[in-house]
Amino acid sequence: MDAYLAAEAHQALKALGSLSAKPDLSGFLVGHKRGHRFFVEKIFLLPEGFRPTLENYHDLNRLLDDKIIGFFAFPADAKHRQRLLQPFACGKLFLGVRVNKKGGLRFESYLIDYADRFFASPIKLRK
């Protein structure tokens, strides 16, 4: 299992990262899954304070033509991953993003899965 970050999605994340030295942002990853690869085509930024629930996830996924394949968050920390360890996020991609000192981005990618409990398993990200 791995993930591919398309140029448009990468550019949008870089733009968000450049807005602040310590951004606190999150949103949905939009794209498709083919075989064992997630294709992240674009991102959908969520309003500040939004917390995904089963109901609002399904509503937004329907509005985005059933193309939500995961979630992203600045900064890449365990707190954001922990919030997603629930049924509606199972099988989805989580992309944690950090802004480095030179303004570049560092990514951490995980598959949210379940085996007796929910957990986040690291996977490779290709750009």
- Cα–Cα distance between 57 and 68 in angstroms, integer? 9
- The pTM assigned to this predicted structure is 0.91
Q: Each residue of 52-105: pLDDT tens digit?
A: 778 888 999 999 999 999 999 998 777 778 888 989 899 999 999 998 877 789
Separation of alpha carbons 93 and 8, rounded Å: 18
User: Which amino acid, residue 43?
Assistant: I
State whether residue 18 is helix, strand or coil. helix
Give percent of the chain above pLDDT 90.
61
Task: Identify the pLDDT of residue 99.
Answer: 87
For the range 112-116, what are the long-range contacts, defined as Cβ-Cβ under 8 Å and sequence gap of 24 or more?
A: 112/70, 112/81, 112/84, 112/85, 114/87, 114/90
Cα separation, 40 vs 67, whole angstroms: 10
